[in-house]
Amino acid sequence: MAAAIETEHLRRRFGARLAVDDVSMTVPERAVYGFLGRNGAGKTTTLKMLLGLIRPSGGAARIHGVDIARDRMAAARKVGALLEAHGFYGNLTGAENLALTATLLGAPAREIDRVLEIVEMRADAGRKVAGYSLGMRQRLALARALLGAPPVLILDEPTNGLDPDGIADMRGFLRSLPERTGATVLLSSHLLGEIEQIATHVGVIHDGRLVLEGPLSRLKADLAPEILLRTDDDARARTLLGGRSVSPADTGLAVALRPGEDADQAAAALNQILVQAGLAVFALGAREQSLEDIYRRVAAPAYPKAEAA
């Protein structure tokens, strides 16, 4: 797979602070790449550099092979963007704001209806943006990013301010976009659960450094599942399973799988050992590791749980 976005040793300094430190990331074509990091990690700064809005202090970035420093306009033409500060004109309507961008892009007027339809904002498109709610502004910003059907979308926290229905709609839309249009999506979030539900690929940024990157499926496979079990005598169970790595879990015990071991086979084998020894097995099953587990290992130990949406 060719890369839609590639950075090499990208850096950005603000005074003494290195906001982005040696970031080399690869976003494959047609990926939905979740760029994950806590507040202040460097997500927005990285995305702004990719959009040519701020200059890197070092390193390089390419969008579909076009170097953003050498040919900023050609790179920008390939990208639709949504950033925190939308910069809409409050005294113009939603449709008028989109018309300004469509004119700049040389996109036909029917594009405005198309993108308003996608974000379900046709009913409010005739109202002044000054009277929009936060979620409505966010939808309008996504509509603007979609104008002209750019091959690359760069979205900074796109679900910010959306209600649960809006978040679900946005998720479904972004997830299906690569297949429907061939586009590549790079989106940032501080919510693990959200990335896990949308992304095909993940990059984790922590203190300005990219600490982890890869397909979501591979990252999950790298962390073998555990078998969680509970018996009437966990202390004895632990002794019986002495040949394995066993640790206490919230309730009962967690048994690590051996490299390459099948979870179902392991569960059956463990069950047999315990039952044959006369223990009552109350519960036994595989637990898949989530992105949250991955994040805990590489970054912050006390990362807040993703909000339920």
The residue count for binding Mg ion (CB under 5 A) is: 2
Give the Cα separation of 288 and 139 in Å (integer). 34
159 touches Mg ion (CB under 5 A): no
Question: Which CB atom, from 44 or from 184, has the smaller least distance to Mg ion?
Answer: 44
Question: What are the Cα distances from residue 85, in Å, to 62, 103, 137, 221, 266?
Answer: 24, 21, 10, 37, 51
Q: How far is the CB of 297 from ligand ATP (least distance, A)?
A: 20
CB-based contacts of 67, cutoff 8 Å, min separation 6: 60, 61, 75
Pick from ligand ATP, Mg ion, none: which does 125 bind, CB < 5 to 8 A by kind? none
Among 30, 43, 144, 201, binds ligand ATP (CB under 6 A): 43
154 touches ligand ATP (CB under 6 A): no
Residues 251, 270 contacting (CB under 8 angstroms): no
Question: Which CB atom, from 283 or from 300, has the smaller least distance to Mg ion?
Answer: 300
101 touches ligand ATP (CB under 6 A): no
Concatenate the DSSP letters of all residues of 44-80 into one string.
HHHHHHHTTSS--SEEEEEETTEETTT-HHHHHTTEE
Question: Which CB atom, from 43 or from 137, has the smaller least distance to ligand ATP?
Answer: 43
Pick from ligand ATP, Mg ion, none: which does 14 bind, CB < 5 to 8 A by kind? ligand ATP
Q: How far is the CB of 205 from ligand ATP (least distance, A)?
A: 7
The piece of 43-51, 168-176, 266-274, 283-291 that touches ligand ATP (CB under 6 A) is: 43-51
Question: What are the Cα distances from residue 186, in Å, to 134, 235, 282?
Answer: 22, 48, 44
Give the Cα separation of 63 and 47 in Å (integer). 12
2 exposure class (CB count in 10 Å sphere: 0-12, 13-18, 19+): exposed
Question: Which CB atom, from 17 or from 287, has the smaller least distance to ligand ATP?
Answer: 17
Residue whose entry in the numeric block shows the structure tokens 């993940």: 202
7 touches ligand ATP (CB under 6 A): no
44 touches ligand ATP (CB under 6 A): yes
Residues 29-58 that bind Mg ion (CB under 5 A): 43-44
91 touches ligand ATP (CB under 6 A): no
Question: Which CB atom, from 263 or from 303, has the smaller least distance to ligand ATP?
Answer: 303
The residue count for binding ligand ATP (CB under 6 A) is: 12
Concatenate the DSSP letters of all residues of 83-125 into one string.
-SS----TTSBHHHHHHHHHHHHT--THHHHHHHHHTT-TTTT
Residues 56, 9 contacting (CB under 8 angstroms): no
Binding residues (CB under 5 A) for Mg ion: these are: 43-44
Binding residues (CB under 6 A) for ligand ATP: these are: 14, 17, 19, 37, 39-45, 190
